[in-house]
Amino acid sequence: MQAINIGLLGLGTVGGGVAQVLRDNAQEIARRLGRDVRIIAVCDKSAERVAELCPQATFVANPMDLVAREDVDIVVELFGGTGMAKEAVLQAIQLGKHIVTANKKLLAEYGNEIFALAEQKNVMVQFEAAVAGGIPVIKALREGLAANQIQSIAGIINGTSNFILTEMREKGSAFKDVLAEAQRLGYAEADPTFDIEGHDAGHKITIMSALAFGTPVNFGACYLEGISKLDSRDIKYAEELGYRVKLLGITRKTEKGIELRVHPTLIPECRLLANVNGVMNAVRVNADMVGETLYYGAGAGALPTASAVVADLIDISRLITADTENRVPHLAFQPSQVVPQNFVSIDDISSSYYLRVQAADKVGVLGTIASLLAKENVSIEALIQKAVLDNNQAEIVILTHSTIEKNMKAAIAAIEAQECVAAPVTLIRMESLHG
Ligand SMILES: NC(=O)C1=CN([C@@H]2O[C@H](COP(=O)(O)OP(=O)(O)OC[C@H]3O[C@@H](n4cnc5c(N)ncnc54)[C@H](O)[C@@H]3O)[C@@H](O)[C@H]2O)C=CC1
Ligand SMILES: N[C@@H](CC=O)C(=O)O
Ligand code: NA
């Protein structure tokens, strides 16, 4: 059988991994697929890197020339970002090329336009590497769980943030040193703010939310809060109370609509997700028939991500001649069934909370705080006073029962308005992750 010809846009961390996987596992892949997969053309800023890593391929300086090549069957987009990547992907689809991409930003922001054009042009856009790197979670959501109504997804889906949180907790390392190490190891995005401010996890949970609930991708509806403002004291106090702090992406179907959010979260240390460390990712899916399932593996890095890219190449190569109706729909549901739904504002979610209040260490302060919480219907689950700080101040750590976020924020505003309260109150949401 004729080989499948790949045109590669981007030979960076992931592109280099794809070249290596296709080279080192060429025989295994051909045994599975019944034909060879070969990279025939590469566009990258560095012609030298192309000559070194893909000596068999033609270097192409202009991405538009690569996507226009008649001998290219599948375009693999690994540029990243939404500039040239978007232009080249749309043009490739226009020209009838199938696409494999690892670009979650592109799909979370422009997926609706890209999938609509792909359906019109009868081509496939595959993106397993875009969510949780090497973990086949897109496959699980689109195919493995297709018999279910999905209820919720919660995941550690940014390897860089999880690596930083793990190193801070285990070794007491400084935030910026660990971030530099994550960049050196090829885990971080070209602009690492996307990792530490929650955008990357937001892109990924947005894509999973669309797949789970049959909605168009709607990144604008995603609440984002990253790890950059986390204080190591909160990680320590959480630990003393039996919790770990993780950056979670959460999407959940509720009576009010779909929740879609990313934020640091306290998780009981006995839960599996609390014990996912380093660059590892894990996604927990709750669905009505199967119950809880958990997917774990490397969420970033050259070879794990390339593993997902090459799996998509194999999938497309198998389906290339299949009728359109036999293909798995891009967003898991038939295009006519992908319908807009209501998303819940962060103020209307229900959660329990960890609060840290810095206040004067004097009689009556605890009582004042407790009564301000009670006034907003916030009930306290645990309250401890931590070490007395300089200036006669103490830190009060409070765990609350579940309450509506706007009530919690109203109580915090009232607490912060007290003269005895010396600094903004720290709030971290909690997830019990049971049931
Ligand atoms: N690094 C990782 O662990 C993972 C990355 N991803 C995604 O994979 C994609 C690629 O990421 P990396 O390989 O880490 O990035 P990278 O920055 O290492 O590689 C990008 C490559 O594309 C080339 N490039 C970019 N724009 C170009 C243009 N206009 N013309 C020619 N060459 C151009 C650059 O020269 C570079 O070699 C991104 O969308 C990223 O979000 C997804 C999962 C994991
Ligand atoms: N920067 C991302 C890479 C994979 O998607 C991460 O750290 O998870
Ligand atoms: Na994946």
| Residue 337 counted as domain residue | no
**Do 175 and 95 fall within a single domain?**
no
Neighbours of ion ligand 3 (CB under 5 A): 128, 131-132, 135, 308
Confidence of residue 434 (pLDDT cuts 50, 70, 90): confident
CA pair distance 198, 225, nearest whole angstrom? 6
Own/partner long-range contacts of 286-289 (Cβ < 8 Å, ≥24 apart): 286/150, 286/151, 286/152, 286/153, 286/435, 287/145, 287/148, 287/149, 287/150, 287/151, 288/148, 288/149, 288/150, 288/151, 289/147, 289/148, 289/149
**Do 240 and 359 fall within a single domain?**
no
* Ligand 3 centroid, distance to 206 Cα (angstroms): 14
Q: Can you give the pLDDT at residue 60? A: 98
Is residue 389's pLDDT more than 80?
Answer: no
**Do 51 and 118 fall within a single domain?**
yes
**Do 119 and 161 fall within a single domain?**
no
Could you read off the pLDDT of 90-110 as tens digits, one per residue? 999 999 999 999 999 999 999
- Domain boundary residue, one of 280, 298, 316: 298
- Domain holding 363, by residue range, is 350-430
Tell me if 244 sits within 8 A of 274, measured CB to CB: yes
96 is in an annotated binding site: no
Sign of CA dihedral 108, 113, 119, 122: negative
Q: Which helix (H) or strand (E) holds 373?
A: helix 365-375
Q: In terms of DSSP H, where are the helices of 251-364?
A: 302-319
Token pair of 241 as six digits: 């109370």
Site to substitute for ligand 1 among 8, 11, 13, most atoms within 8 A of C-beta:
13
Residue 133 near ligand 2, beta carbon < 6 Å: yes
Q: Can you give the pLDDT at residue 388? A: 80
Confidence of residue 268 (pLDDT cuts 50, 70, 90): very high
Token pair of 381 as six digits: 């689950």
Ligand 1 nearest atom to the CA of residue 63, by list position: 30
Is residue 321's pLDDT more than 80?
Answer: no
DSSP state of 272: G
| Residue 421 counted as domain residue | yes
Own/partner long-range contacts of 415-418 (Cβ < 8 Å, ≥24 apart): 415/357, 415/369, 415/372, 415/373, 418/359, 418/368, 418/369, 418/372
| Residue 16 counted as domain residue | yes
Ligand 1 nearest atom to the CA of residue 189, by list position: 41
Domain count, the chain: 3
- Domain boundary residue, one of 76, 97, 126: 126
Q: Can you give the pLDDT at residue 324? A: 76
Mean pLDDT computed over 341-363: 96
Could you read off the pLDDT of 137-195 as tens digits, one per residue? 999 999 999 999 999 999 999 999 999 999 999 998 889 999 999 999 999 999 999 99
| Residue 132 counted as domain residue | no
345 Cβ contact partners less than 8 Å away, ≥ 6 residues apart: none
CA pair distance 228, 352, nearest whole angstrom? 22
**Do 113 and 143 fall within a single domain?**
no
| Residue 155 counted as domain residue | yes
* Ligand 2 centroid, distance to 359 Cα (angstroms): 38
Q: Can you give the pLDDT at residue 435? A: 60
**Do 165 and 209 fall within a single domain?**
yes
Q: Can you give the pLDDT at residue 227? A: 97
- Domain boundary residue, one of 281, 298, 315: 298
Residue among 352, 355, 353, 412 nearest 231 (CA)? 355
The CATH number covering residue 78 comes to 3.40.50.720
* Ligand 2 centroid, distance to 209 Cα (angstroms): 18
Ligand 1 nearest atom to the CA of residue 80, by list position: 39
Is residue 391's pLDDT more than 90?
Answer: no
Q: Can you give the pLDDT at residue 387? A: 77
Atom 35 of ligand 1, residue of closest alpha carbon: 45
Mean pLDDT computed over 212-222: 98
Mean pLDDT computed over 308-320: 95
**Do 15 and 122 fall within a single domain?**
yes
Is residue 338's pLDDT more than 80?
Answer: yes
CA pair distance 149, 134, nearest whole angstrom? 25
**Do 150 and 91 fall within a single domain?**
no
**Do 205 and 274 fall within a single domain?**
yes
44 Cβ contact partners less than 8 Å away, ≥ 6 residues apart: 8, 10, 11, 12, 15, 50, 59
Sign of CA dihedral 225, 227, 228, 229: positive
**Do 292 and 254 fall within a single domain?**
yes
* Ligand 2 centroid, distance to 104 Cα (angstroms): 10
Query: In whole angstroms, how far apart are CA 216 and each of 69, 93, 114, 255, 424?
Result: 31, 19, 11, 19, 37
Please tell me whether residue 402 adopts helix, strand or coil conformation: coil
Token pair of 388 as six digits: 């007395």
Q: Which amino acid is at 294?
A: L
């070794």: which residue's tokens?
A: 171
**Do 55 and 110 fall within a single domain?**
yes
Backbone angles phi, psi at 382, to 5 degrees: -150, 150
Is residue 337's pLDDT more than 80?
Answer: yes
Nearest ligand to residue 299 Cα: 2
Q: Can you give the pLDDT at residue 181? A: 95
Nearest ligand to residue 14 Cα: 1
What angle (nearest 5°) sits at the alpha carbon of residue 147, between those of residues 146 and 151? Answer: 80
Tell me if 139 sits within 8 A of 130, measured CB to CB: no
Write down the ipTM of this complex: 0.99
The CATH number covering residue 176 comes to 3.30.360.10
Q: Can you give the pLDDT at residue 325? A: 76
Could you read off the pLDDT of 37-56 as tens digits, one per residue? 999 999 999 999 999 999 99
CA pair distance 167, 177, nearest whole angstrom? 10
Mean pLDDT computed over 358-380: 96
Out of 174-178, 304-308, 311-315, pick the least confident: 174-178
| Residue 157 counted as domain residue | yes
| Residue 50 counted as domain residue | yes
The CATH number covering residue 372 comes to 3.30.70.260
Could you read off the pLDDT of 271-288 as tens digits, one per residue? 999 999 999 999 999 999
**Do 186 and 226 fall within a single domain?**
yes
Mean pLDDT of the chain: 96
| Residue 121 counted as domain residue | yes
